[in-house]
Amino acid sequence: MQPITDIAARLGIAEQHLIPHGRYKAKIAKEALAGGRPQPGKLVVVTGMTPTPAGEGKTTTAVGLVQGLGKLGRRAVVTLREPSLGPIFGIKGGGTGGGRAQAVPEDEINLHFTGDAHAVASAHNLLAALVDNAVYRGAASGLEASGIQWSRVTDASDRALRQVVTGLGGSGNSPLREARFDIIAASEIMAILALAADLDDLRQRLARTVVGLTPQDKPVTVGELGFTGPLLAVLRQAILPNLAQTLEGQGAIIHAGPFGNIAHGCSSVVGDRLGLAYADYVVTEAGFGADLGFEKFIHIKCRQSPDKSGRPSAAVLVASVRALKWHGGAARRDLERPDPKKVAAGGPNLAHHVGIVRGLGLPVVVAINRFSSDSPEEVAAARQIALDAGASDAVECTAFTHGGEGATALAEAVVRTAQGLVEPVWAYPLDAPVEEKVLALARQIYGADGVTWSAEARRRLRQFEEQGWGGLPICMAKTHLSISHDPALRNRPRGYTFAVTDIRASVGAGFLYPLAGRMETLPGLPTRPRGLDVDVDPEGSVIGLG
């Protein structure tokens, strides 16, 4: 690794704008944004086909693409979400890429980094304590214990905390109420941090955050209770983006970490804006497949960006032969066995995701993340599927094995494709009724015939519309393992009805999030958690995060 001052200097970021956290990472002061060049770079968003248990390598491809652009002599930066400890020690493992295409220092980025996630958790739980205390003291603007909607958060995957009772032990510990824990990445404050344009915008979003409803269904906000100031004090450093580096010395701006299947799944607006002020190309990643992260990137992050510099120029859609075989019906144990027929059978999933990106107005390059078990015939079949679906190009990528050299062909395709800012084609207007917006997403993005709403979801929806929140964009909370709401439905489900079971409002973040199917906002641990592979070697280095 190189000193972070050297990484910043090559980007043109002045040393006085760095707030170092050790030698290899730093926060970047807000003044750096004004010091960038007047003509912003081009934004490229990386998404993927429907994830599988084998993993597709989206982050690896995003980092590799930046390294490939570096090989072409282009100044490039990758903007990524900060990893969440729950998935790291649960199912997913580390979130910094892999092989020779990684953001580093890997251990620090994955574990504590610069403390942003801890700041979000502290602010979130401070607000929970302040709200409970205000109700206990009778100073909560008519809010009662039964009307509190603000949860608490943890960064551990802990299913035992999904539903809890707080305030046990007598009146001195009240209010007694049913409550829940969410994971930090699902906190509304994390979503707010990712979408806030600056400190003043962060203040306004926190102030309008709703913590509960009175018996008369009147929303009670953070600003009304006078709690904005202490929350902002906890978060004032967290809003500053973080600079790290790739293995080949390009800048990596890693900031905020909202979940992709619950929140909007994208890194911060301020991180993208900073990268665009200093780099020719900014490669950003949207969580999970094009039906989740990419769709939310377009409808939420792009719409809320303060200027058109947040508009992308192109998309890269990551695919793999293994993922195609999985969606073609192959068992996990057979994914490394050559089977061109299964590749072809899984093609509709890839084609649908290409169609999502093109339908929302962006040209798309498909990156075929190459694994050693892939046969030439299978790779050729995957490429043809992508081209037939309308991709501008489909290119093999071996960044995991070869770093930037393995992604130069992908970089060349991106340079050819990303010619300028693209105005997205929205799937719905913001002023449409909420049910029409959800129906538009269900048909265009999820391939459903229609939508059903539970009685509780309809009741809440009427309540939200009466409060004037119907004009907010939709942030669908659904499984990432299927285009549909049912994780068991592989490939490209058709002829089904999309089921909305509940709906919640994140007024501070600026979206409504319907819940489709069964969605948990706090994951549980698997039979053998990935965290059992993590240890510290005799030299004090963390091992087993990959």
Q: What is the pLDDT of residues 248-257, one digit of tens each?
A: 999 999 999 9
Residue 536: burial class (beta carbons within 10 Å; 0-12, 13-18, 19+):
exposed
Q: What is the pLDDT of residues 102-137, one digit of tens each?
A: 999 999 999 999 999 999 999 999 999 999 999 999
Query: Domains (ranges, CATH) in the chain?
Result: 4-115+238-417 (3.40.50.300), 116-235 (3.30.1510.10), 434-516 (3.10.410.10)
Kindly report the average pLDDT of the chain as a whole number.
95
Specify the residue for token string 């909305």: 500
Give which of 447, 443, 453, 425 is closest to 512, Cα–Cα: 453
Residue 300: predicted pLDDT: 95
Q: Per the omega criterion (within 30 degrees of 0), is the bond before 424 cis?
A: no
pTM score: 0.95
Residue 530: predicted pLDDT: 86
Residue 39: predicted pLDDT: 82
Q: What is the pLDDT of residues 288-309, one digit of tens each?
A: 999 999 999 999 999 888 777 6
Q: What is the pLDDT of residues 144-168, one digit of tens each?
A: 999 999 999 999 999 999 999 999 9
Amino acid at 18: L
Specify the residue for token string 């899984």: 346
Mean predicted confidence (pLDDT) in 385-397: 98
Provide the 3-class DSSP secondary structure of residue 66. helix
Band of residue 88 on the pLDDT scale cut at 50, 70, 90 = confident
List the structure tokens of 360.
């929302």
Q: What is the pLDDT of residues 259-295, one digit of tens each?
A: 888 889 999 999 999 999 999 999 999 989 999 999 9
* DSSP-derived secondary structure for 155-223: SS--GGGSSEEE--SSGGGPPPEEE-EEEGGG-HHHHHHHH--SHHHHHHHHHT-EEEE-TT--EEEHH
Residue 33: predicted pLDDT: 84
Band of residue 518 on the pLDDT scale cut at 50, 70, 90 = confident
Q: Per the omega criterion (within 30 degrees of 0), is the bond before 175 cis?
A: yes
In the chain, % of residues over pLDDT 70: 100
Contact 210, 221 (CB under 8 A): yes
Residue 80: predicted pLDDT: 97
Band of residue 520 on the pLDDT scale cut at 50, 70, 90 = confident
End-to-end CA, the chain: 18
Mean predicted confidence (pLDDT) in 409-435: 95
Residue 120: predicted pLDDT: 98
List the structure tokens of 208.
């309008």
List the structure tokens of 219.
């929303």
Contact 82, 256 (CB under 8 A): yes
Q: What is the pLDDT of residues 348-389, one digit of tens each?
A: 999 999 999 999 999 999 999 999 999 999 999 999 999 999
Contact 94, 546 (CB under 8 A): yes
Residue 37: predicted pLDDT: 81
Distances (CA, A) of 433 to 23, 219, 247, 471, 534: 51, 21, 47, 8, 48
